[in-house]
A and B are shown apart, each in its own frame.
Chain A
Amino acid sequence: MPRDITYREAVREAMTQAMREDDSVFLMGEDVGVYGGAFGVSRGMIEEFGEERVVDTPLSEAGFVGLCIGTSLMGMRPIAEIQFSDFITHCMDQLVNQAAKLRYMFGGEAEVPLVLRTPGGAGTGAAAQHSQSLEDWFIHVPGLKVVMPSTPYDAKGLLLASLDDPNPVIFYEHKLLYNKKGDVPEEQYRIPVGEARISREGEDVTVVAAGLVHHHALEAADALSGEGVEAEVVDLRTLSPMDHETVRGSVEKTGKLVVVEEDVKTAGWGAEVISRIVESESFYALDRAPARVAGADTPIPYNKNLEAFIRPSPEKVIEAVRKLLDVKVGVYS
């Protein structure tokens, strides 16, 4: 019997189940208590767990994330919520210089099992300071893991896995995914951090995506199917560590690669996906230059049309694939 619940509910269910099982797990963030979090993710949790475990903080991102890091050194399992991922700048030092580094600089003699959940991404008309996709910053910091589930099923399984992980994990949710429904088993299950998934099989082109835009990739693939092009879609699910093996396997099959990412193009994670292919033996399997569909190199504008203009969309993915298939480059064509 499929049980359709929303992405929001899936995240909440993972937190709730983990907290029932382990008294050392707690949620801390701004307005996560009676308000239920800015996006309602923790609604109802304070009634079950009380204010000692669903903790409303003052506006102190550095302070409470630092506090969570301290509790993790002491063997607790904190979940910090940053209300909008843009505000992560306020706890950057805590993440980059503390959480990511303590284990290494202490010579492996400490663990920091912190989970930091935060909604990222654009599409809400909230303009430049409430819409960014800054996940690349953290991919660039060894010691942190970065997870970005695109479905309710993955959100639950990856959050439970992140909570088991002895390392700091930045867990990116997407505001436009919160209402998305999907089949999610009630019992606990884990999706390993660092494993991509082939969400649609195809022979003609590999489309690698993550998060919200993974759905753009799937939509595009369905449309392209009507034109006789069968795209294989890879949902990375975790951005760090990145599952290059799954991407390689797919590219070696299709010979063509398109990356779809919501972050800005320059130095975005798509560049890393492509570089890893290009510097490996899989390079020789390519019969076209890889392509990227990414956010434009601009802040996110307020006007809806402007916002849509600079963001990836299913149409832009379709266009990119068509273009890739049109162009005759390389010796294999």
Chain B
Amino acid sequence: MNHKELLEKMLLIRAFDEKVNELYAEGKVHGTAHFYVGQEAVAVGVISALREGDVITSTHRGHGHAIAFGLDIDRMAAELLGKASGYCHGKGGSMHIADVKAGMLGANGIVGGSMGIACGAGWAFRRRGEEKVAVCFFGDGAVQEGIFNEALNLAAIWDLPVVFVCENNQYAMSKSVKTAFDTDTLSGRASGYGMPGVTVDGMSLLEVHEVASEAAELARRGGGPTLIEAITYRYLGHSKSDANLYRTREEIQQWRKRDPIAHFASELEKRGELQKDEWRELEHAARERIEEAFEKASEQPEPEPESALEDVYA
């Protein structure tokens, strides 16, 4: 595991979503988008624990998962601008970026919508005797949905190689976990299904990586699913428009002090794996890369209007 590369991934995710936020504000991107800023350690920590051939399912807040999984920034940028060269040829946008062949089974605009799909990927691996793992990312909001119960139970009874990663970023839109749940942890639910559950500091890449590696190994060996709850925070609004009426500026500031990128960078500095302030250079490079991607994307052709009628059926 190359720590510097993981740091670069986190920086790329942050630069990407900060750029998209900016483009929305300028009216250059339409529709909606949900930003991953603040949660980078979860996607990168978990996905760095995966191997070739493993798959993930993602959510409406999916840019971070996609970048961490290795999707091409240029094609992601093109998709956000609705271009023919985007991952979905302009038909999906922010909430539906996917690369099914590569194992990224899709962002999903329905909260909890991909939990069954992840179980299906796990089912396919188990049936074929492949030692592979499906990671299912979802938010605390999805834990409130009915399919959470069904998916976790199915994965548990059939020992499916699925790692459920709940990104508890404290809010489902404006709904605080404090009022949505009457329990201290969400990982505690795991015991009700007979699977291991663990709560981890989602602002710490190394800690996330460690629990994800353990869960993935367990799943690979036929030991079934694990529920990981990563405690994290989204810095920006729920989606492009959000006046933060449900939380205080102080609260946001408190969480920002635990920034996963700064935290990891200083850890690497301490270990001598990174020069002092080198991460600022990496940050600059990430921003350049993102600028370039959106610039290139903006020059790409629009899809033909008639293409709207294609791909309804195979």
Closest to A66 in B: B116
| A76/B157 in contact, CB under 8 A | no
A66-B116, A98-B117, A103-B311 in contact; A110/B100 too (CB < 8 A)? yes
Closest to B312 in A: A142
Closest to A93 in B: B110
The yes or no answer to A185 lying at the interface (CB within 8 A) is no
| B88/A167 in contact, CB under 8 A | no
Point out the residues of chain B lying under 8 angstroms from A104, CB to CB. 91, 311-312
The yes or no answer to A107 lying at the interface (CB within 8 A) is yes
Complex: A94 Cα to B113 Cα, angstroms:
7
| B91/A105 in contact, CB under 8 A | yes
A206-231 Cβ-contact flags toward B at 8 Å (1 or 0): 00000000000000000000000000
| B154/A106 in contact, CB under 8 A | no
Task: Give the residues from 255 to 314 in chain B that come closer than 8 angstroms, CB to CB, to chain A.
Answer: 310-314
Task: Give the residues from 127 to 168 in chain B that come closer than 8 angstroms, CB to CB, to chain A.
Answer: 127, 134, 146-147, 150-151, 153-154, 157
Task: Tell which of A56-64, A263-271, A313-321 binds the partner.
Answer: A56-64
The yes or no answer to B50 lying at the interface (CB within 8 A) is no
5 extra A-B contacts, CB within 8 A, seeds A71-B127, A98-B117, A106-B92: A58-B150, A66-B116, A66-B117, A69-B117, A142-B312
B96-110 Cβ-contact flags toward A at 8 Å (1 or 0): 101111000110111
The yes or no answer to A143 lying at the interface (CB within 8 A) is yes
Complex: A83 Cα to B54 Cα, angstroms:
33
Complex: A98 Cα to B311 Cα, angstroms:
15
Task: Tell which of B4-12, B61-69, B118-126 binds the partner.
Answer: B118-126
Complex: A75 Cα to B310 Cα, angstroms:
22
Which size class do A's interface residues fall under? 35 or more
Point out the residues of chain A lying under 8 angstroms from B151, CB to CB. 63, 66-67
| B119/A67 in contact, CB under 8 A | yes
Complex: A74 Cα to B145 Cα, angstroms:
25
The yes or no answer to B198 lying at the interface (CB within 8 A) is no
Closest to B148 in A: A63
The yes or no answer to A97 lying at the interface (CB within 8 A) is yes
A74-B121, A109-B100 in contact; A97/B110 too (CB < 8 A)? yes
Point out the residues of chain B lying under 8 angstroms from A68, CB to CB. 120
14 residue pairs of the A-B complex, CB under 8 angstroms, read A58-B153, A58-B154, A63-B119, A63-B151, A70-B116, A70-B124, A74-B55, A76-B124, A93-B113, A106-B92, A106-B100, A108-B89, A109-B98, A167-B314
Point out the residues of chain B lying under 8 angstroms from A62, CB to CB. 116, 146-147, 150
| B87/A109 in contact, CB under 8 A | yes
| Cβ-defined partner of A111 (8 Å) among B99, B146, B150, B314 | B314
Closest to A144 in B: B313
| Cβ-defined partner of A66 (8 Å) among B91, B106, B147, B311 | B147
The yes or no answer to A21 lying at the interface (CB within 8 A) is no
The 3 closest A-B pairs by CB, nearest first: A66-B116, A70-B120, A63-B150
Point out the residues of chain B lying under 8 angstroms from A94, CB to CB. 116
Q: B290 to chain A: closest CB distance in Å?
A: 22
The yes or no answer to A192 lying at the interface (CB within 8 A) is no
The yes or no answer to B202 lying at the interface (CB within 8 A) is no
Q: A303 to chain B: closest CB distance in Å?
A: 34
The yes or no answer to B197 lying at the interface (CB within 8 A) is no
Task: Give the residues from 32 to 80 in chain A that come closer than 8 angstroms, CB to CB, to chain B.
Answer: 52, 57-58, 60, 62-76, 78
Point out the residues of chain A lying under 8 angstroms from B127, CB to CB. 26, 52, 71, 76
| B88/A105 in contact, CB under 8 A | yes
Complex: A159 Cα to B116 Cα, angstroms:
24
Residues in chain A within 8 A of chain B (CB atoms): 26, 52, 57-58, 60, 62-76, 78, 93-94, 97-98, 102-111, 142-143, 145, 166-167
B76-90 Cβ-contact flags toward A at 8 Å (1 or 0): 000000000011111
| B89/A66 in contact, CB under 8 A | no
Residues in chain B within 8 A of chain A (CB atoms): 55, 57, 86-92, 96, 98-101, 105-106, 108-110, 113-125, 127, 134, 146-147, 150-151, 153-154, 157, 310-314
Complex: A167 Cα to B314 Cα, angstroms:
6
| Cβ-defined partner of A65 (8 Å) among B90, B105, B116, B134 | B116
Most buried by B among A57, A68, A93: A93
| B116/A73 in contact, CB under 8 A | no
Most buried by A among B90, B108, B113, B313: B313
| Cβ-defined partner of A73 (8 Å) among B88, B89, B117 | B117
Point out the residues of chain B lying under 8 angstroms from A167, CB to CB. 313-314
Closest to A98 in B: B113
Point out the residues of chain A lying under 8 angstroms from B153, CB to CB. 58, 60, 63
| A107/B89 in contact, CB under 8 A | yes
| A57/B311 in contact, CB under 8 A | no
Point out the residues of chain B lying under 8 angstroms from A105, CB to CB. 88, 91-92, 96
Closest to B96 in A: A105
Point out the residues of chain B lying under 8 angstroms from A97, CB to CB. 109-110, 113
| B115/A66 in contact, CB under 8 A | yes
Q: B241 to chain A: closest CB distance in Å?
A: 22
Point out the residues of chain B lying under 8 angstroms from A110, CB to CB. 98, 100, 106
| A107/B90 in contact, CB under 8 A | yes
Point out the residues of chain B lying under 8 angstroms from A108, CB to CB. 89, 91, 310-311, 314
| B105/A70 in contact, CB under 8 A | yes
Closest to A113 in B: B314
Point out the residues of chain A lying under 8 angstroms from B113, CB to CB. 93, 97-98
Closest to B120 in A: A70
A62-B150, A63-B147, A109-B101 in contact; A74/B312 too (CB < 8 A)? no
Q: B40 to chain A: closest CB distance in Å?
A: 25
Point out the residues of chain A lying under 8 angstroms from B86, CB to CB. 107
A104-B91, A106-B88, A167-B314 in contact; A74/B124 too (CB < 8 A)? yes
